[in-house]
Amino acid sequence: MTHDKLPLEPLFDKIEELKPRFIDRLTRAVAIKSVSADETLRPEVAKMADFLVDELTALGFVDIQKKDLGIQPPPVNDPKLPLPPVVLARSGADSSKKTVLIYGHYDVQPALIEDGWNTDPFVLTHDTVKDILYGRGSTDDKGPVMGWLNVIEAHRQLGWELPVNIVCCFEGMEESGSVGLPELIAQEAKKYFSTVDATCISDNYWLGTRKPVLTYGLRGVHYYEIVVSGPAADLHSGIFGGMVGEPMTDLVKVMGSLVDSQGRIQIPGIAEMVAPLTDEEDKLYDPIDYSIDDLNDATGAKISLHDNKKDALKHRWRYPSLSLHGIEGGFSAPGAKTVIPARVSGKFSIRTVPNIEPRKLDQLVVDFCNEQFAKLGSVNTLKAQLIHDGNYWVSNPFNDNFTAAAKATVDVWNIEPDFTREGGSIPITLSFEQELGKDVLLLPMGRGDDGAHSINEKLDMSNYINGCKTLGAYLHYYAKQ
Amino acid sequence: MTHDKLPLEPLFDKIEELKPRFIDRLTRAVAIKSVSADETLRPEVAKMADFLVDELTALGFVDIQKKDLGIQPPPVNDPKLPLPPVVLARSGADSSKKTVLIYGHYDVQPALIEDGWNTDPFVLTHDTVKDILYGRGSTDDKGPVMGWLNVIEAHRQLGWELPVNIVCCFEGMEESGSVGLPELIAQEAKKYFSTVDATCISDNYWLGTRKPVLTYGLRGVHYYEIVVSGPAADLHSGIFGGMVGEPMTDLVKVMGSLVDSQGRIQIPGIAEMVAPLTDEEDKLYDPIDYSIDDLNDATGAKISLHDNKKDALKHRWRYPSLSLHGIEGGFSAPGAKTVIPARVSGKFSIRTVPNIEPRKLDQLVVDFCNEQFAKLGSVNTLKAQLIHDGNYWVSNPFNDNFTAAAKATVDVWNIEPDFTREGGSIPITLSFEQELGKDVLLLPMGRGDDGAHSINEKLDMSNYINGCKTLGAYLHYYAKQ
Ligand SMILES: [Zn+2]
Ligand SMILES: [Zn+2]
Ligand SMILES: [Zn+2]
Ligand SMILES: [Zn+2]
């Protein structure tokens, strides 16, 4: 892609110049232990919201609100535990400009140095040899959130007007299920968010470590349970083995019928719903920086079902998959207990993609389980049901939002980004798209090896600084699309 | 069966007369909390051994020994925990008489009134309306052990000589795996037990509640584990689902291939090893007091694989069965975790019968698992192996030992006993038979609903008193065979 470059060098230079301030900002953010999963740290999460309010105020944001989401619903230890607020803020209200909604989260995953961190997780530590910043939240998601603030600061110091109006939506419960946020988005869609033209979320990662990506799709997930019931209580296999139908026998047969060892779903009707691969989409896979070796490195074993990058990634991103997660109710301890379990349940899930119809999928799955069970001629009873679902999301990677981000990436990194999807789901993406009716872009800052939820979470300095440049350039290109 | 009755009425009358003393003996035995599974109660187990020594001494037994079995091997909390002794004693050394070895155990299952007992489990409680004795150990196995002592006491009070020499072998670890006993039997086979002609074990139950039985067979058990390994660590199904081979998929397929929902083992070569059913054996099933309704009552559901008593019992006793016990390593908790387990193991066992060759069975099973796995074309690895086994036991129900017991049963209960087997294993039976090279008889005292290992364990008074008569009469008939 070649494009008419905007004159953004002064912005990029200013970002380089402000690097010490930006490191300081991230250091102060990381120091706040805003772990949403730890009830005892809820005051720290609140403190992090206040930190953002102070920063936003200093940067000239207006209409700053801490949206109260009420009390956290069970299960909680403290029945009066307040949910962290959603911080809303806006910069600019120029009706001649487009408005971009920026989403990020200010809570982080738990972290204890005893878990194996090389440094204090809540002290941002600069490894000056590798030029890497270590700390909890450095990449997920305090780095990107500070990135947006850094962009604003650079503009102010340059005396530049922002090319778009900005609306911030920063939540403090992302690592704990985004409780309350979907409702808030729905409530504010025609109010605080009424002028939004596009949403940009910087809360995922490059596919690998070498090449920037833009993410245009997420698979959905439908989670199912099969329960097989027989006797009123567990039986002793010495006494009853051979005389009675055993629920575990039926369950493994039904579960074994769902998918083959090559990962091919055996339930008829699902493959037919999958959107055909277009040439245009297929071409997106050609340049992607990924290999089967990368997959083998990630799994620590040679268990790839495909011998080439493109097939592997398509099965990760644009085809459905079915995983069996486990069986409950049986004997699953050390030793040799001779039990016939009375009631066993199996759990499995299907990753969904366009154009799988959710309710039709559920019907196909439940019908198939019932049919397979009927074939067994069992004396027991089976019940299969959906227990949880979240829909897939896919965007047009050639729309204005993505095109702007692609141009920004080329300017900063001097390379075309890979267009990727993610195999897992980020439900809030769909909430923004559906409630606001506007395009959503996933524009990651960090790399695939940042260890977002692991020990020694990190953000490469180049990703932090170039990430700030990319976020800033994106706003300028989007303003011109 | 008609037989020349021996003149045992005086013995039976004496037993009736001594009933208060026999209840008192069992009361004193039940009061001792000889729970072998509870390390803190080990002194009570030792006290129970002393109780037996005192009783045996008072009844004129000689050569009484408390055989030290040393320290209990791990896992234990107290590394110096002594094993309960095996109590040996003999009565009579008349080389013109046969010698019968009597086995019983003086330890009991744990019991707490909080578990739901209607009465204190360690206070033998006589429900005079139902004429039932309640208490831990009443039927398993203090009732039968006291029964043998009662028989000796009745003979002494009558001034009768015992018709056989008796060797007692009472252990205190039966409920905890009979640790050390097989080695002791082997050691004493040519010493303390050298003159033994037959063994009688009274430590099982009638099939039902109405008809006495003699037990001539026990199935064995071979316990297997299948482990399927793939990635180095658990993977997220959103990221890797569709790209990699999943161990759980392979495991349920292999486990699902082992047996069908009608309980038919699918591993070739096993059925061929099963001893053919003879007419004589088949006829043993005709009179047995059992019905499919009894099975449904026991399981609390209509899950019988057979529509008639004979087929059901044959599959419980004389045909092998295969039960899948559970799967370990997967997700088996509430909720909807989207994990691809890295390593999963499945456990199953086969109940064995004559003439299944143990090592050939293991080879067939392991080969079959490997073949089924090979058919899957999986990228993962599978290992199937035996982790525990115990052999089946079957006796000739028409031998002198059983014939004597059958005659005794007819005299006492006025009905032919049913000849039954048990679906489960009692490994010590095989130890006695193999080490001593003599016939073993299982001659139960209690009923099928006694709740041996449950709350409210009981022994009907009629079973206790008629049981004593049966044990006594058995000795007399065995002496004449
Ligand atoms: Zn995040
Ligand atoms: Zn996260
Ligand atoms: Zn017992
Ligand atoms: Zn027992």
If you average pLDDT over residues A120-135, what whole number do you get? 98
Residues with CB under 5 A from ligand 2 (ion): A 140
| Residue B424, pLDDT score | 82
* Angle, vertex CA B119, rays to CA B113 and CA B124, nearest 5: 115
* Phi, psi angle pair for B129, to nearest 5°: -75, -50
Interval between CA B143 and ligand 1 midpoint (Å): 67
Residues with CB under 5 A from ligand 1 (ion): A 140-141, 203
Residue of B nearest to A291 (CA): B243
Label residue B1 by pLDDT band (50, 70, 90).
low
The three-state DSSP-derived secondary structure of B194-257 is CCCCEEEECCCECCCCCCCEEEEEECEEEEEEEEEECCCCCEEHHHHCCCECCHHHHHHHHHHC
Question: Cα(B50)–Cα(B87) distance, rounded to whole angstroms?
Answer: 9
Say if residue A75's pLDDT is above 90.
no
Which chain B residues are Cβ-neighbours of A322 within 8 angstroms? 241
Say if residue A454's pLDDT is above 90.
no
If you average pLDDT over residues A110-138, what whole number do you get? 96
What percentage of chain B carries pLDDT values higher than 90?
Answer: 91
pLDDT digits (tens, 9 = 90+) for A394-435: 999 999 999 999 999 999 999 999 999 998 888 899 999 999
**Residue B124, CA atoms < 13 Å, CB-side half-sphere:** 24
Label residue A52 by pLDDT band (50, 70, 90).
very high
Give the residues across from B221 on adjacent strands.
B351, B390
Question: Cα(B160)–Cα(A28) distance, rounded to whole angstroms?
Answer: 97
Which of the ligands is closest to the CA of residue A446? 1
**Domains (range + CATH), chain B:** 9-218+393-480 (3.40.630.10), 221-275+318-390 (3.30.70.360)
Say if residue A96's pLDDT is above 90.
yes
Within A159-246, residue ranges assigned H as helices are: 181-188, 237-240
Q: State how far residue B142 is from chain A, nearest Cα, in angstroms.
A: 23
Say if residue B159's pLDDT is above 90.
yes
Q: Which of residues 240-279 of B touch A (CB under 8 A)?
A: 240-246, 248-250, 252-253, 255-256, 259-263
Question: Cα(A241)–Cα(B35) distance, rounded to whole angstroms?
Answer: 29
Question: Cα(B186)–Cα(B22) distance, rounded to whole angstroms?
Answer: 33
Label residue A443 by pLDDT band (50, 70, 90).
very high
| Residue A340, pLDDT score | 94
**CA-based nearest residue to B324, from B247, B261, B393, B391:** B261
Average pLDDT, chain B: 96
pLDDT digits (tens, 9 = 90+) for A206-252: 999 999 999 999 999 999 999 999 999 899 999 999 999 999 999 99
Q: Are B223 and A320 within 8 A, CB to CB?
A: no
3-state secondary structure of B351: strand
Distance of CA B54 to the CA centre of its chain: 27
Q: Is B403 on the interface with A (CB under 8 A)?
A: no
Average pLDDT, chain A: 96
Choose among B244, B323, B341: nearest Cβ to A241: B323
**CA-based nearest residue to B218, from B77, B365, B383, B392:** B392
Instruction: Report the b/e string of A371-389 with b at 16+ CB within 10 A.
Output: ebbeebebbbebebebeeb
| Residue B204, pLDDT score | 95
DSSP state for residue A160 in the 8-state scheme: P
Lookup result for tokens 């090979």: B374
Lookup result for tokens 């086969």: B350
Instruction: Report the b/e string of A177-203 with b at 16+ CB within 10 A.
Output: ebbbbbebbeebbeebbeebbbbbbbb
**Most A CBs within 10 Å, among B254, B270, B338, to test the A interface:** B338
Paired sense of beta strands A439-442 and A198-201, if any: parallel
Q: State how far residue A121 is from chain B, nearest Cα, in angstroms.
A: 24
| Residue A1, pLDDT score | 58
Question: With 0-12 CB in 10 A as exposed, 13-18 as middle and 19+ as buried, what is A80?
Answer: exposed
**CA-based nearest residue to B207, from B322, B121, B285, B133:** B285
Which chain A residues are Cβ-neighbours of B374 within 8 angstroms? none
Distance of CA B458 to the CA centre of its chain: 17
Say if residue B213's pLDDT is above 80.
yes
In this structure, are residues A106 and A53 in contact, taking their beta carbons and an 8 Å threshold?
A: no
Label residue A266 by pLDDT band (50, 70, 90).
very high
Interval between CA B299 and ligand 4 midpoint (Å): 20
Dump strand ranges (E) for A329-380: 339-340, 343-352
Residue B422 among the catalytic residues: no
pLDDT digits (tens, 9 = 90+) for B166-205: 999 999 999 998 999 999 999 999 999 999 999 999 999 9
| Residue B453, pLDDT score | 86
Q: Name, in order, each residue with C-beta under 8 angstroms of A42's C-beta and a sequence gap of 6 or more.
A: A36, A81, A82, A84
Interval between CA A426 and ligand 1 midpoint (Å): 9
Q: Name, in order, each residue with C-beta under 8 angstroms of A311's C-beta and a sequence gap of 6 or more.
A: none
Q: Name, in order, each residue with C-beta under 8 angstroms of B233's C-beta and a sequence gap of 6 or more.
A: A300, B342
CB pairs under 8 A between A and B: 285
Paired sense of beta strands B235-236 and B439-442, if any: unpaired
Q: Are B328 and A323 within 8 A, CB to CB?
A: no
Which chain A residues are Cβ-neighbours of B454 within 8 angstroms? none
Tell me how far CA of residue A116 lies from CA of A169, A457, B27, in angstroms.
Answer: 33, 11, 60
| Residue A425, pLDDT score | 80
Label residue A153 by pLDDT band (50, 70, 90).
very high
Say if residue B333's pLDDT is above 80.
no
Say if residue A277's pLDDT is above 90.
yes
Distance of CA A317 to the CA centre of its chain: 13
Distance of CA A138 to the CA centre of its chain: 16
The answer to whether B403 is a known ligand-binding residue is: no
| Residue A158, pLDDT score | 98
Choose among B241, B303, B328: nearest Cβ to A332: B328
**CA-based nearest residue to B104, from B18, B26, B172:** B172
pLDDT digits (tens, 9 = 90+) for A165-212: 999 999 999 999 899 999 999 999 999 999 999 999 999 999 999 999
In this structure, are residues B107 and B453 in contact, taking their beta carbons and an 8 Å threshold?
A: no
If you average pLDDT over residues A126-136, what whole number do you get? 98
Tokens standing for residue B371: 């073949």
pLDDT digits (tens, 9 = 90+) for A345-391: 999 999 999 999 999 999 999 999 999 999 999 999 999 999 989 99
| Residue A109, pLDDT score | 93
Instruction: Report the b/e string of B15-44 with b at 16+ CB within 10 A.
Output: beebeeebbebbbebbbbbbbbeeeebbeb
Question: Cα(B141)–Cα(B150) distance, rounded to whole angstroms?
Answer: 14
The answer to whether A39 is a known ligand-binding residue is: no
Which residues of A are known catalytic residues?
A: 107, 174
If you average pLDDT over residues B76-92, what whole number do you get? 96
Q: Name, in order, each residue with C-beta under 8 angstroms of A18's C-beta and a sequence gap of 6 or more.
A: A150, A153, A154, A157
Residue B107 among the catalytic residues: yes
If you average pLDDT over residues B87-104, what whole number do you get? 97
In this structure, are residues B346 and B453 in contact, taking their beta carbons and an 8 Å threshold?
A: no
Give the residues across from A389 on adjacent strands.
A222
| Residue B68, pLDDT score | 97
Say if residue B109's pLDDT is above 80.
yes
Give me the amino acid identity at A448.
G
In this structure, are residues A105 and A145 in contact, taking their beta carbons and an 8 Å threshold?
A: yes
Label residue A333 by pLDDT band (50, 70, 90).
confident
**CA-based nearest residue to A164, from A97, A103, A88, A102:** A97
pLDDT digits (tens, 9 = 90+) for B220-267: 999 999 999 999 989 999 999 999 999 999 999 999 999 999 999 999
| Residue A341, pLDDT score | 94
Question: Cα(B70)–Cα(A292) distance, rounded to whole angstroms?
Answer: 59
Higher pLDDT, A3 or B130: B130
CA-atom Rg of chain B in angstroms:
25
If you average pLDDT over residues B324-328, what whole number do you get? 94
Which of the ligands is closest to the CA of residue A175? 2
